[in-house]
Amino acid sequence: MIDSQSQMKRGLIWFGSASLVMRLLDVGANLVALAFVTREQMGLAAIPWTAIVVIESFNGLGVGTAIVQARELSRRQIDSLFWFASVFGIFLGLLLAAGSPLFVSFYGDDRLLPLLLVSACKLPFVGAALVPVQLLARDLKFGASGAVQTAASGLSAITQIVLAILGLGAWALVIAWTARGLFLFICVMVAAPLRPRLAFAVADTRSALSFGVRACSSAALYHFYRNADYLLIGKFLGIETLGVYRVAFDLAMSPLEAIGQVVNKVAYPVFSRIGSEIDELVQAFHRMSRYLLFLAGPVVLFLFFGSEHLIRAINPERWLAAVPAVQILCWAALLRGLAQLFPQLYIASGKPELAIYSELANGATLVGGFALVLWRFPELGIFGVSWVWLLTYPVMLAFQFRLARRAAPIGLAGYLRTLAPLGGGLVATAAAMGGAAAALSAARFIPPIASLVLVGLAGLLVYVAYLRFVLGQRLTDLRPGSGSPTP
């Protein structure tokens, strides 16, 4: 048995620090882009981005997940899996290129074709980077993994900023996203070089594929329904409206997705190491859920109360219409993050089929809701789609608790007891941020960016005070090896 609590803290510190830097880089690049690109250009870029995300979910057919989960892994298996993932990445790139005319026909816009063809170039690089990146996760080398991801994000952000300033519009976004695959491959080969031998054996990939395809299926379902709203909004409401929705979604969901990815990247290898120790697995799941709320709760409140100030600081004439959608989607993002921790438990406990059931139910609910709202109530626009996101996840959390019984005895009562101590702090933080936002909105002479900073500081001070004086937590409690759980 491993010291799961210490491993979680170490992983959260490394991945959390890396994710914070990555998110700041992404936010900075996106804010620069918002000042230079139009709604239509943002909408055009959203379609190839959606296509690449969905197809990239098939990267390696899940062998990366199998690498982390495997108890033993020989050098010959690593070589075979590397070549399989690399060749399959090339295949996925060719598949997207071949399917690009279908997107052009569906949206009736010839400008999409070159954007899609360039996006397809990312897939061979992420395929080649898959095995070395997952080997870092398998060995719990969170520091090296975080450094690789941060470096790739930083190079991508610089590319996007430069190209946006040069006036490349949608191309600035597409080229930067595509280049991230190349940067990831270069960075991981520098930080953790893998020198594969020219050897391949089908037998060495069979067991990994048998497990990985099931795990990959759930990931592919997730990415499909996660991006179905983009595809449908672009078709039913138009490219310009899609641009506004893309900005709202990025502002509301991306910070919470970053936190969720950090928690999931730490949770999965830790859960996998615990294995069949059910009691320890349940405790680890509760701790990870508490860590997630601890990190994500204040961010949701900041987005809810500060989004208008942020948009006014960038370009209110172009993007102010996105604010109400941001305020709905940020709450959906929090619930989604809590729900997404369950599939990590299913896969790590050797039951990836449960993750498939979870994603099927989630996808059917969301996509069905998107289609219904956009077809029958198009006048609701992006707000209708945002409400579909928010109303889906309470239902899905209830479903997850029923499904989780097949993997570990996780009950609602114990789960709520785990999260309850943070509730008072989040209520107090909401009161502080809400009061500050209202007062600053009335004071029109204060610049929007200053208002945004003051709203954040008000909430941060109250939240830290609650953790320290009510829960008795210190920042030193976050250190690996400290005896105190957080929080």
Tens-digit pLDDT profile for residues 178-230: 999 999 999 999 887 788 888 787 777 887 887 778 777 777 877 888 888 99
Q: Report the domain count for the chain.
A: 1
Using the predicted structure, report yes or no on whether residue 9 has a pLDDT greater than 70: no
In the numeric block, which tokens belong to residue 191? 């930080």
487: in domain: no
CB 288 within 8 Å of CB 41:
no
483: in domain: no
Highest mean pLDDT: which range of 4-18, 110-124, 219-233, 469-483: 110-124
485: in domain: no
Question: Rounded distance, CA 116 to CA 104, Å?
Answer: 9
70: in domain: yes
> Can you say how many angstroms the Cα of residue 174 is from the centroid of all Cα atoms in its chain?
18
The DSSP 8-state label assigned to residue 351 in this structure reads -
State which H helix or E strand residue 374 sits in: helix 352-376
DSSP state string for 317-334: HHHGGGHHHHHHHHHHHH
Question: Rounded distance, CA 48 to CA 331, Å?
Answer: 27
Question: Rounded distance, CA 181 to CA 168, Å?
Answer: 20
Using the predicted structure, report yes or no on whether residue 1 has a pLDDT greater than 50: no
At 70 the pLDDT is 72
86: in domain: yes
51: in domain: yes
386: in domain: yes
Using the predicted structure, report yes or no on whether residue 66 has a pLDDT greater than 50: yes
Question: Rounded distance, CA 181 to CA 191, Å?
Answer: 15
At 2 the pLDDT is 47
Query: Residue 480: which region, alpha, beta or left (left: phi > 0; alpha: psi -120 to 50)?
Result: beta
- Find all residues with CB under 8 Å of 222, minimum gap 6, and list them: 57, 340, 359, 362, 363
Q: How confident is the model at residue 19 (pLDDT cuts 50, 70, 90)?
A: low
- Find all residues with CB under 8 Å of 94, minimum gap 6, and list them: 120
42: in domain: yes
At 481 the pLDDT is 47
- Give the rounded percent of residues in the chain with a pLDDT score beyond 90: 46
At 7 the pLDDT is 55
The DSSP 8-state label assigned to residue 167 in this structure reads T
**CA 212 to each of CA 55, 225, 345, 400: distance values in angstroms, whole numbers, following the listed order:** 16, 20, 15, 22
- For 309-323, letters b (16+ CB in 10 Å) and e give bbbbebeeebbebbb
- Higher pLDDT pick, 19 / 141: 141
Question: Rounded distance, CA 339 to CA 58, Å?
Answer: 22
Q: How confident is the model at residue 463 (pLDDT cuts 50, 70, 90)?
A: very high
Tell me which amino acid residue 314 is.
I
Question: 397-406 contacts: CB < 8 A, separation 24 or more?
Answer: 397/335, 397/338, 397/339, 399/358, 399/361, 400/339, 400/342, 400/358, 403/342, 403/346, 403/354, 403/357, 403/358, 404/342, 404/345, 404/346, 404/354, 406/351, 406/354
CB 447 within 8 Å of CB 454:
no
Range of the domain at 302: 4-478
The DSSP 8-state label assigned to residue 94 in this structure reads H
- Taking residues 422-429, what's their average pLDDT? 93
Give the residue carrying structure tokens 């918002």. 34
At 129 the pLDDT is 92
- Taking residues 413-436, what's their average pLDDT? 92
